[in-house]
Every structure is written in C-alpha cells, then in structure tokens.
Amino acid sequence: MILDLLVAMMKTIFSLLILILSFSLFSQELFSTKFRIKNEGQNFFKLDAQAASLSNNIIRNNAFLSFISPEEVNKDFKSCWKKFILNRSVKIEIKKSKYKQIAINNEYFIYQTTFNPKDVNIINVSLNQFKNFCKIN
C-alpha cells in the first residue's frame, strides 16, 4: 500500500518535472527594448498615442527576428531589414505585444516595449526573399 502511494507520487512528480522543462525548452526569448518620449507637458492621450506609435515602429524594425533563429541575429540582418522594408509595403501582424511606462523625469517619459518574435507574422514576404535581398545588397 505504501509502495503504491510512493510510486504514484513519483509518477506525479516526474510528470510535473517534464511539463515544466518542456515550457522552458520551447519558449523563446522575448524581445524587449526601451525608448524615450520628450516630456513636453502633453496630455495622457497624446502621450499614449506617441508610445503606441513608437512601439509599433520598434516591432516593425525588428520583425525580421521572426524569420531567423536567435543564434543568427547580427547587425547585418538588422541593417538589411531596414533597407528591405524601405519604400516597400510589408504587412506585419502580431498576436501580442505590450508597452509600458517604466520611468519619468523632467525631460523624458521612458517606456519599454516587449514582444515575442514567434508571435510576429509577416504576410507578404518570405524568408527566402529577405535572405536573397541581403545577399545582393
């Protein structure tokens, strides 16, 4: 009876351990960066609109992270992506992102934007198109 209870408890602990490890193995690093907005005494609605716009620009400028693995990330891809999206209609969908105000001083409001590159979907561009463009340029 006690042996059966110990076996059942070991199975439960082992199952929980496998579940916890699988979450950590399959999760990807979140991309997070800070940005500033000049404090000009603007009202909350204008400030929030500015923060949302800057957050969207950051996501657009780093959307290439959805194409490549974290090991491949370098400055060349980032500069190539900025050239690639210049004067081009690129449709980007993101499932979830967030921005939040993290500090304030007399000169600036400081925000942080965070998103998971796996949640970014670039609709009308493929990885091959992007990499071929980078090889040529």
Whole-number pLDDT of residue 73: 80
Q: pLDDT per residue over 54-96, tens digit each?
A: 999 999 999 999 988 777 788 888 899 999 999 888 999 999 9
pLDDT at 62: 93
Name the token pair of 30. Answer: 């979140």
Write the CB contacts of 50 (distance below 8 Å, at least 6 apart in sequence). Answer: 37, 42
Q: Where residue 25 falls among pLDDT bands split at 50, 70, 90?
A: very low
pLDDT band at 133 (very low <50, low <70, confident <90, very high): very high
CB 93 within 8 A of CB 121: yes
Is residue 63 packed enough to be buried (19+ CB in 10 Å), middle (13-18) or exposed (0-12)? buried
Side-chain half-sphere exposure of 52, counting CA atoms within 13 A: 6
The predicted pLDDT at position 119 comes to: 92
Q: Which residues make beta-bridge pairs with 103?
A: 110
pTM to 2 decimals? Answer: 0.74
Mean pLDDT of 1-27: 62
How far apart CA 111 and CA 131 sit, in angstroms, is 32
| Pair of tokens at residue 50 | 């500015």
Q: Could you report the per-residue pLDDT of 28-49, keeping only the tens digit for each?
A: 578 899 999 999 989 999 999 9
Contact of 92 with 122, CB cutoff 8 Å:
yes
The answer to whether the beta carbons of residues 113 and 99 sit under 8 Å apart is: yes
Q: Are 118 and 66 in contact (CB under 8 A)?
A: yes
97: pLDDT confidence band, cut at 50, 70 and 90?
Answer: very high
Angle at 89 between CA 34 and CA 96, to 5 degrees: 40
